[in-house]
Structure 1
């Protein structure tokens, strides 16, 4: 991994950590999770923006494949790698440790680090980053609204639907194609394993999301019947 990339990762880790600590001090009444989700939302917006800016040809946005990473792609990946390292530490200090999040972070860290080390599959990795982060703001918005007192409101239900739709389209609609492209390319085994691992984690969360939406639909229907 080149020295400028290492600096990006180190500086990024310091930045995300400082942002979290500043939010904890500025919002003492809010929870650890609330402040961390604000940082996560900021990263998701930054990651999607950087991934979008790295597209060289909008007539073929997922191209070129199988070529060395561009400087824009490496910078975008370094920023996300720094965030994943930061958030992995945050997960360890939260009240409840979510194993699925730790697995997701571990897969992401290994995959991005391998891509930066080998200087390859930048397009595939940045596209995967765009797909995985596209639904993140809606994911965090759901929980932020709950802590702000908007649980079981139309606004919170709208956030649920936006998250479920964006996650399903990105990770289960486009994700399998991108995974197949990565698995069939001439890439190191570690990159192929992490690509498959990320898709499996997405499938696991997709099942949980379907169950959540079914529960909310049944719950909402029962509430309307009771009111009527």
Structure 2
């Protein structure tokens, strides 16, 4: 484990952690009137674009994006995983500075880091991991936008409601429909145990988050209906 991984890959991870941190510091200086979490979520939005771009560029065949299963990872897949690993390490550290600390978020970051680290170290399962990364990130812009709108005092606006509905729909499709599909192929293919375990763990966290998202949407819709009926 790890002997086939080039020095450049680990160098990318280390430099990436400092690069994401530098982006955060620059944003913090530029918009110092905003909170720590606000600036960190802007960094996360940048990562979404980078991760989806690198993941998309590394998919060999869009007709069969998860194939070949349990195969050696391509250089493009390793690069996509290394860049996102550096981000998750940075973001996990940031999560420790935000109070109250979200246990589910910490678990998600820990499982993600272990999965990406395992994929890079073994040099296999690149197709499955890149597919998982793509599905994980596709709904994140709406998740981060939800918190950004709160701080910008748009919590009860129509824009916030539309964003929440889009988040719920895209998250549900990516994590509850496509997610189990990717998890099934990852578990049934000849992949290392650490990759199978983290794949199952991410799916379990996604189900828990889906439950919270459904509660959030129902609460927001019911609260909005109550306000409208009160006004009329």
TM (norm. structure 1) is: 0.98
RMSD: 0.9
Alignment pair present for 1:211 and 2:215: yes
Alignment map for 1:79-228 (pairs within 5 Å): 79-228=83-232
Counting matched residue pairs gives 228
- Asked if 1 retains the 8 angstrom alpha-carbon contact of 2:187 and 2:196, the reply is yes
Unaligned regions of 5+ residues in structure 1, if any? none
Residue 60 of structure 1 and its aligned partner are, at CA, apart by 2.2
- Asked if 1 retains the 8 angstrom alpha-carbon contact of 2:69 and 2:189, the reply is no
Which residue matches 1:75? 79
Alpha-carbon distance in 2 for matches of 1:224, 1:204: 31
Alpha-carbon distance in 2 for matches of 1:217, 1:226: 14
Which residue matches 2:7? 3
Residue 217 of structure 1 and its aligned partner are, at CA, apart by 1.4
Alignment pair present for 1:35 and 2:39: yes
Unaligned regions of 5+ residues in structure 2, if any? none
Alpha-carbon distance in 1 for matches of 2:64, 2:131: 12
Alpha-carbon distance in 2 for matches of 1:102, 1:24: 23
Deviations 1:103-126 (A, max 9, x none): 000000101100111110000000
- Helix, strand or coil: the match of 1:93? coil
- Helix, strand or coil: the match of 1:82? helix
Which deviates further from its counterpart, 218-227 or 129-138? Answer: 218-227
Residue 61 of structure 1 and its aligned partner are, at CA, apart by 2.4
- Helix, strand or coil: the match of 1:173? helix
- Helix, strand or coil: the match of 2:214? helix
TM (norm. structure 2) is: 0.96
Deviations 1:49-94 (A, max 9, x none): 1111111222222322221001110000000000000001101112
